Structure formats: structure tokens, C-alpha cells
Amino acid sequence: MRWKGRRQSRNIDDRRGQPAGFSASSARGGAGLIKLLPMLLSTNGGRAILVVGGLVVVGAKLAGIDLLPMLMGGGSISTARHSSPAMSQAQEELANFVGVVLADTEDTWQQVFRDNGATYLEPTLVLFTGQVNSACGRASAAVGPFYCPGDQQVYLDLSFFEELSRRHGAPGDFANAYVVAHEVGHHVQTLMGISDQVRQRQAGASKRIANELSVRQELQADCFAGLWGHYANTRSNMLDPGDLEEALQAASAIGDDQLQRQAGRAVMPDSFTHGSSAQRVRWFKRGFDSGDLQSCNTFSADRL
């Protein structure tokens, strides 16, 4: 990726090397969220369906926190960058890289929201080491990167990128960028009103249906990550030959079926919460190829 020398986001809260803590000033309320498109509630054969500006949504995850399970077997924008202990040159370069990727996602989603007559509220990305507190509770680096809708922040321990490369066989800067863009995709779902509304629908569903809806929401976040990749390639000219393959390899490496095999377990599709390797690759590529928000309608797709 051609990322060096580009603008870095101001929305980085650097808590690396600090004790786990939660700053009330960075918490966000939900009252001021801007919906990208209007919502309608309808039913289909007695089953509730949410129609979000043409995106048909039948549910979402029950939990309030999104975890990217790669390692497992509202309010004003925070622009704080806390001082942290001296980090290695490699760690600082990774932090700068994440800042550039986040800035480019901001440019992309500002444009997409503008095209739909709305305003994009930029998320804060929290860098941490070891453990961190969020509005969704305390989490350790072992859970991987995650997005918390309660404070509209992305949480990332940079050591995860080494795990992605070493343990999951998905090295490369665009593979790392895919991880950031996927979590930002969940922020987009929150701003559009999808996450909160569908979570309510999932609460009364069976575990099988709840898992299926979680898969659809995760695959949509993959598609949104691909949509950002499309803009990064066509507008920002950030991609080098081979970058797309890096992201596709990362998407494949963290499919639920691959993770279950890696853990020595039988593949059980009904237990999937993020989608198979093939599904994650397919939906990332759909967003990348089209660059179109409506192409990411996983909730009405007959085939995932």
C-alpha cells in the first residue's frame, strides 16, 4: 500500500502502555445519531423485517459488542492522543499506518453519506496494550479488535497484526487495513441505525436464527470494508499490485469454518457467527468490485 506521507486521522486515542481505563469524556450517547436512510417496519409471513433505505434487515447480534474472533479457539468526536511510553519504531510505524487507514475511511464514508444526503460522524480508534475498558465492558487483547456501539469507538491492540500474519497466515499491510475497515463498517451500521434496530429483533430469536443474523451483519461489515477498498484503490490510489489478494487471504483465514478446523473442532455451520471463509471473501470482493452501498445488502441475499 502507498500510505506513507498521507494524512493521519485526528481521531486516535492512544492508550498504549497505560492501565486499562475508561474516559467518560470519550463516551458517546445514542440520541444524536444520524440515520443514513429512513426506516420502515414491515412483516413477512409474521416475521418482522426492517427495511433500511432499501437494505432489508431481519436481525442482528444479541451482544452489544462486536468481536473479530481471530484469536479465539455517539456524542462529540474524541481527538485526544495521550502520551504513552516509548514504543519501538515498528510499533510507531504501525500506529501511523492505522492513522492513515482510518483517515481514508473517513474520506470514503463522508463522501458516501454526503451522496445520500446525510452527515458521517467519525469514530474514534483506541490503541491499547493488554487490556482496555470500553462502554461495552473490559476486554483483553486476546479477543482481537472490536467495535463498541456504546461509545462508537474501535479498539485495537497493534500486536494483533502479528498474530494475523504469524498464526493465521495473512500478512501484509492491506490485510491489516481490512481489519480496521471491517470494524469501521460496524460503526457505519450503527450510524445507519441497523445495529440497534436489528439487535432488538434478534433478542427474541432462536440461537440458530440469531447466529444467522449475526453472520449477515458481519458479512455486511466485510462488504463495507471492501467498499472502502474500492475507494482507496480508485480515488486515493493507495493500492499496490497484490494488495487485494492480501485482504482476501485475511478474510479467508478468519472464516468460521477455518477457525473451527484450526481449533481442531468439527465444522458446524449453525454455530457460525461471522461467516465461512468463502462467504467473507465473496462479500469483501463484492464491495470492492462495486463500490456501491446497495450492493452490500446481505440481509436480503438468498445466497451468502
> What DSSP string runs through 96-159?
HHHHHHHHHHHHHHHHHHHHTT--PPPPEEEE-SSEEEETTEEEEGGG-SEEETTTTEEEE-TH
Distance CA 300, CA 113 (A): 22
Given this model, what pLDDT does residue 225 score?
Answer: 97
- Distance between CA atoms of residues 217 and 214, nearest Å: 5
Classify strands 55-57 and 47-52 as parallel, antiparallel or unpaired. Answer: antiparallel
Question: Please, what is the end-to-end C-alpha distance for the chain in angstroms?
Answer: 29
Q: From first to last of its 304 residues, what are the pLDDT tens digits of the chain?
A: 999 999 999 999 999 988 775 443 344 433 333 334 333 223 233 333 333 433 433 333 333 445 454 333 333 333 344 444 557 888 899 999 999 999 999 999 999 999 999 999 999 999 999 999 999 999 988 888 999 999 999 999 999 999 888 888 888 999 999 999 999 999 999 999 999 877 888 898 898 889 989 999 999 999 999 999 999 999 999 999 999 999 999 999 888 888 888 788 988 888 888 989 999 999 999 999 999 999 999 998 988 9
Distances in whole angstroms, Cα of residue 260 to Cα of each of 73, 103, 153, 222, 254: 7, 34, 28, 19, 10
Whole-model pTM above 0.75? yes
Q: Are 267 and 32 in contact (CB under 8 A)?
A: no
Instruction: Give CA–CA dist 92/89, Å, rounded.
Output: 5
**Confidence (pLDDT) at 18:** 85
Amino acid 85: pLDDT:
54
Burial tier of 173 (Cβ tally within 10 Å: 0-12, 13-18, 19+): buried
CB distance 136 to 28 below 8 Å: no
The whole-number pLDDT of residue 86 equals 57
Residue 196: predicted pLDDT: 84
User: Rg for the chain (alpha carbons), in Å?
Assistant: 18
Backbone angles phi, psi at 118, to 5 degrees: -130, 175
Classify 172 in phi/psi space as left (phi over 0), alpha (psi -120 to 50) or beta: left
- Distance, in Å, from the CA atom of 192 to the CA atom of 39, rounded to the nearest integer, reads 9
Spans of all domains in the chain: 12-300
Residue 55 is placed in which grid cell? 437494505
